[in-house]
Amino acid sequence: MYLHKAGNNGVTESKIEVMVSNLLDNCNVKHLKYEASEAFGIYTCKCKCMTDDNISILPGMDFDGYCNRLGKDSRREALRIDSEMIYKMMIVDYLIANPDRHGMNWGFFYNCDTMEILGCHPLYDHNNAFDIEYMRDPDVRYLYDESRSMEDWAKYAMSEVDFHFYREFVREDFMTDRQYKEFMRRAKTIGVRVEQSLVSSVF
């Protein structure tokens, strides 16, 4: 089963989704793979459904509500459950200037029978990446946790987790010169290195 998605801004958002998916193919982070497609005569991006009869998704917004009800710090609990993916999410969002990491754009897998939380689901929904205002302002607050800027969270996350590229990025990986230059500037700012590997993190 596939989900087809068309953006609100013509075909641009769908193309950005595919581009970011390809960028993340070159990073050691689990992510949902988006491909260019067509539905009802318009350009879309598509991805496979990542749930089944056994595995479902707990959205971050619902997780926050659950933690609040129990008097727990939801951000601390998320790190306890899967710090690797939470930190990598922070790094990715900074690199791609993503303004859209709200409570329905991150979350966890859980076992449908036991209700056990299994860890974060792969990253997805990056059609709003490379936002002009977010690229312009490195000190913009991070939507996931507004206690710090996106840059500060990314720098901290880099000290807590191994995040790297499998090869050097080139201009052809991006839709625009500005996206390429800003991505590479940010990667240099937080010290992302290249470490060649044959391991894929695509979901």
pLDDT in 10s for each residue of the chain, 203 residues: 899 988 776 689 999 999 999 999 999 999 999 999 998 888 999 999 999 999 999 999 999 999 999 999 999 999 999 999 999 999 999 999 999 999 999 999 999 999 999 999 999 999 999 999 999 997 899 999 999 999 999 999 999 999 999 999 999 999 999 999 999 999 999 999 999 765 556 66
pLDDT of residue 127: 94
Q: Edge-to-edge strand order for the sheet containing 107-111?
A: 55-59, 107-111, 117-120
CA distance 45 to 15: 7
Q: Which residues contact 137 (CB under 8 A, 6 or more apart)?
A: none
pLDDT of residue 53: 94
Burial annotation 158-171 (CB, 10 A radius, 16+ → b, else e):
beebebebbeebee
Torsion sign, CA atoms 8, 10, 14, 20: negative
pLDDT of residue 116: 96
Task: Confirm if 136 and 97 have CB atoms less than 8 A apart.
Answer: no
Task: Confirm if 34 and 46 have CB atoms less than 8 A apart.
Answer: yes
pLDDT of residue 89: 98
Q: Which two tokens stand for residue 27?
A: 């990073």
State how far the alpha carbon of 114 is from the alpha carbons of 49, 106, 111, 117, in Å. 21, 21, 6, 9
What is the residue type of 100? D
Give the closest residue to 97 by CA, choosing from 60, 61, 139: 139
pLDDT of residue 139: 87
pLDDT of residue 201: 60
Residue 5: beta bridge partners?
Answer: 45
pLDDT of residue 202: 60
pLDDT of residue 87: 98
